[in-house]
Amino acid sequence: MKIAFLGLGNMGTPMAANLAKAGHDVTGYDPATPMPAGVTGAISAAGAVQDAEVVITMLPNGAILRSVAAEVIPAMAPGAVLVDCSTVDVDSARAVAEQAAAAGLAALDAPVSGGVGGATAGTLTFMVGGPDAAFATALPLFEVMGQKAVHCGGPGAGQAAKICNNMILGVTMIATCEAFALADKLGLDRQKMFDVVSTSSGYSWTMNAYCPAPGVGPASPADNGYKPGFAAELMLKDLRLSQQAAGSADADTPMGALATLLYESFVEAEDGRGMDFSAMLPRFEKRSRG
């Protein structure tokens, strides 16, 4: 398949490389990043997409997505599919889908879960919104770049699924870190706490698979000085998106709102920027109730 890939940062570079390794003809464009092996560079985004059957974007935010879409949709070939793998606000995803439809094209919002490790290994999960036929066209590419693709519904449904998932993740990580800090002050051994909680009703992904306590449970960023697998500032971005969506939908999300405030303080007023989002544990260790 002939593919254009726009946005070759930490996530986009290995995703594009995996498509090229699988034998696809990949043309890339990124103003700040060199092309990975097997990917042909273009001098502009519009130039990259002209002959592509599928255009994939991996961009920082909704405003940039809207700008890039406005540039490339008029240049895309008839019948091509635009697949946005960025994590952006639902309104931007739906606006781009409407713009593509007006031009006779199809668009999918397809944010991912799995981080840089999953992008490199080709084990991402894709949460996809958009038309059935476009999903069928893109599915072979999702299967190269990931291990699972879930068609969640119409335009914006993929972003909605990602935002809801990561709101749960942020809230759960805070609760897990709070519990370890409380256990410390109660004199409970961390390994004993893990042994109980990981097999009891407190079971969660943040406890069992991504434990924030060093030396406890499977290897995680906590065992590597909290160097980010998923950076705290990216969690803050996703939590802010959840609250933007909650405002648009008139949804009451008090735990999501509080998690957003806590990560905002951690990233912007404390030492959380550049740390893994599980570094909330040492934050709570240093704090008292007052």
Pairing of strands 2-6, 54-57: parallel
3-state secondary structure of 188: coil
Tally DSSP H helices, then E strands, for the chain: 12, 9
Give the integer Cα–Cα distance in Å for 216 and 209: 10
CB atoms within 10 A of CB 44: 13
Q: What string of H, E and C letters represents the secondary structure of 13-41?
A: HHHHHHHHHCCCEEEEECCCCCCCCCCEE
Q: Between the CA of residue 168 and those of 6, 42, 124, what are the distances in Å?
A: 29, 39, 19
Q: Quick check: is 162 catalytic? A: yes
CA dihedral sign, ordered 116, 119, 121, 125? positive
- Active-site residue (options: 2, 21, 148, 162): 162
3-state secondary structure of 218: coil
CB atoms within 10 A of CB 51: 13
Pairing of strands 124-129, 112-113: antiparallel
Give the integer Cα–Cα distance in Å for 154 and 129: 5
Contact 27, 3 (CB under 8 A): yes
54: alpha, beta or left, given left = phi > 0 and alpha = psi -120 to 50? Answer: beta
Give the integer Cα–Cα distance in Å for 195 and 59: 40
Question: Which of the residues are catalytic?
Answer: 162
